[in-house]
Structure 1
Amino acid sequence: MKKGLRVLLIILLFFLGGVTVFMASSVLFNWFGIRELEGNYVPFVVFANLICGAIYLYAGYLSVKKRTKAVRWLIYATGLLLITSIAFAVYVYMGGVHEEKTVLALVFRTSITAILAWLSYYTTNNAQVLKEA
């Protein structure tokens, strides 16, 4: 069962990483006119998403290589998203212009990243993960 979950994790990491890097970079660099479709995007949130997309791809690579460091990188991504959520809350409180979908997207991405971190921990040798920390 763990092997099947590990394969699912790897597929999810590469898929989410690829989509995230594509969409975030498209908004930041205005590729394919996607920036206009996003409306009032918040640049630091999009940049954090871009970093997390790269982390998903790297964690996918580490998972393929059966390295336990993938867990640590996914925890870093979860932390980055939590910090970004706090900064976004301050930004909104100060009257920053944003789209309502940004709130839901941050909650969704943070939750998914935490689940991916847990799944990565569950599918690896847990004793080895704790030893490396």
Structure 2
Amino acid sequence: MKKVIHYLVSAVLAAFGLLTLFLSTSVIFDLFGIRAKEGNYVLFVVWSNFISSFLYLIAVYGLLASKNWTYKTLGLSAAVLTATFIGFLFYIQSGGIHEAKTVGAMVFRIALTLTFALFAYFTINKRK
């Protein structure tokens, strides 16, 4: 049963990483008309999501191969996202144009990333 949960979490992280990669790349490079659909996106937030997408995919390998560094990779992603979120809050306070949904999306992404990091820590590092 533990293996099933491990593979399920890996699959969810892979899907989340691939979706993040697709969406951030589409906004950065204006693919498929997604940039127009995003409205008032903030480019540095999109770039941090782009960076995190690669960290997620690296972490998927780490989860599947039970590598000790997996939680650190996800922690790095959470740190990047948190620093970006703090910068984003300053951006909002200075009157920057943005979509209100971005605040909730950033909080969700940080919380989910931390959840994945904790899962990796407790299933890989505590087991060894």
Scaled by the length of structure 1, what TM-score is found? 0.91
2:77 alignment counterpart: 77
Shift of 1:127: 6.6
Matches within 5 A, 1:71-110: 71-110=71-110
How many residues get paired? 128
* Mapped partners of 1:125, 1:118: distance in 2: 10
* Mapped partners of 2:5, 2:123: distance in 1: 7
Matches within 5 A, 1:1-16: 1-16=1-16
1:18 alignment counterpart: 18
- Give the match's secondary structure for 1:31: coil
Q: Percent identity of the aligned residues? A: 40
Contact 1:9 1:120 in 2 (8 A): no
Mean Cα deviation higher: 60-69 or 98-107:
60-69
Query: Where do 5+ consecutive residues of structure 1 fail to align?
Result: 129-133
C-alpha root-mean-square deviation of aligned residues, in Å? Answer: 1.2
* Mapped partners of 1:74, 1:22: distance in 2: 19
Contact 1:68 1:125 in 2 (8 A): yes
Shift of 1:80: 0.8
Amino acid aligned to 1:88: F
Runs (4+) off by over 6 Å: none
